[in-house]
Amino acid sequence: MRTIGKLSEAAGVKVPTIRYYEQIGLLPEAERSAGNQRLYGQLTMDRLTFIRHARELGFPLEAIRDLLSLSDRPDQSCAAADAIAQVQLAAVEARILRLMALKAELQRMIVQCAGGVIAECRVIEVLGDHAQCHSDHPHRHAEIAM
């Protein structure tokens, strides 16, 4: 059994994050030592590694919650897990496309801003006037967060 600090180091997840995961029910309530300190065994370590890995792949915590509950029923079809991964893949692809358009637009702005004066600055100008913009990014509020 490890303390939370050891678990944190071993799993690569910060101590407050582990407590947070327990608080929101992603991790079970930890056993406690005589002095009320959390103690963890290998099962929690594995679960935490799973969570960290899924977070690194961009899954939101709710999706991870679903994946964890799936992995508790190993006899069932993995169609549900597959579906969750498909949704995540589609989200990642959409984000890539969007970012590539932004990148092109930023590059265009920067290239045309060759050290002049604010009044002629393409960066400022493009931002102030949508007609200057070559990409057709949406008029509604953009999907910005991952």
Partner DNA sequence: GTAATCCCTCTAGTCGCTAGAGGTGCAAGG
Partner DNA sequence: CCTTGCACCTCTAGCGACTAGAGGGATTAC
Going 43 to 47 to 52 to 53, the CA torsion angle's sign is positive
1 binds, among DNA, its own copies, none (CB under 5 to 8 A by kind): none
Q: Does residue 145 touch its own copies according to CB under 8 A?
A: yes
**Number of residues counted as binding DNA (CB under 7 A):** 24
Among DNA, its own copies, none, what does residue 4 contact (CB within 5–8 Å per kind)? DNA
Q: State how far the Cα of 143 lies from the Cα of 94, in Å rounded to an integer.
A: 9
Give CA–CA dist 13/27, Å, rounded. Answer: 13
- Per CB under 8 A, 10 contacts its own copies: no
> 51: burial class by Cβ within 10 Å (0-12, 13-18, 19+)?
buried
The residue ranges that bind DNA (CB under 7 A) are 3-6, 8, 14-17, 19-20, 30, 33-38, 55, 60-62, 141, 144
